[in-house]
Amino acid sequence: MSYSNSSMGSGSRTARRTIEFGRTYVVKPKGKHQATIVWLHGLGDNGSSWAQLLENLPLPNIKWICPTAPTRPVGILGGFPCTAWFEVGELSEDGPDDFEGLDASAAHVANLLSTEPADIKLGIGGFSMGAAIALYSATCFAQGKYGNGYPYPVYLRAIIGLRGWLPCARSVRNKIEGSHEAARRAASLPILLSHGQCDEVVPHNYGERSYHALSLAGFRNIAFKTYEGIGHYTVPKEMDEVCNWLNPRLGL
């Protein structure tokens, strides 16, 4: 069983099933290519909608890769099938984590980044469930491996999570503190989290708790921004701040 052999078209192969990912959309840089960021959509969405938004950001030196999640039955929707990066039965710290789905999606993202040129800076961002995969990828990068123990293959320079939460938050601190190298990687990785105060889908306190869990685990280069009066959507001011945050951290 190896997630590292998954491809853009065929999905990630596991011992139990083959996970088929949807179409990947690419926004080419308008200027000199200096960084590549994989951006992950939320539950029920696809890569196309975010590709259209990201194309209009004033970040000409970034290539954006916007994959589409597999279509699967989702417990939180009563088993209704839709695009989802992993299975989620409920938004609860006590609920079980879908490690197979998390690892498969994190591996799919890493594989998309692994073919970029060696001098290109790499990052992951996402919205809602996509942000959850971005944050899970951050913990895999710090540990140097996925939850299943297979090596994590790429070096990340930036993580962005909008309206998201941290899967496996209960165990991340012990996993990072147990390794000097993991602690060093965690401390060096810039992370931007933002949440709407009035988010009715992923409550604001989930974002806060994720921020505190990551901070306690040793992710020291982390910022958390709250947007008053904003729900489960992004606003232009927020995307402007994402741009302003990314530029110095990627040396653009």
Residues recognised as catalytic: 128, 199, 232
Q: Alpha-carbon distance 157 to 138, whole Å?
A: 10
Q: Alpha-carbon distance 189 to 225, whole Å?
A: 17
144 with 58: CB under 8 angstroms? no
As to burial, measured by CB atoms within 10 angstroms (0-12 exposed, 13-18 middle, 19+ buried), residue 180 is exposed
Q: Alpha-carbon distance 179 to 188, whole Å?
A: 14
Q: Alpha-carbon distance 123 to 117, whole Å?
A: 13
Q: Alpha-carbon distance 16 to 32, whole Å?
A: 42
195 with 238: CB under 8 angstroms? no
Using alpha carbons, list the distances in angstroms from residue 137 to 122, 130, 157.
Answer: 12, 11, 12
Q: Alpha-carbon distance 125 to 28, whole Å?
A: 16
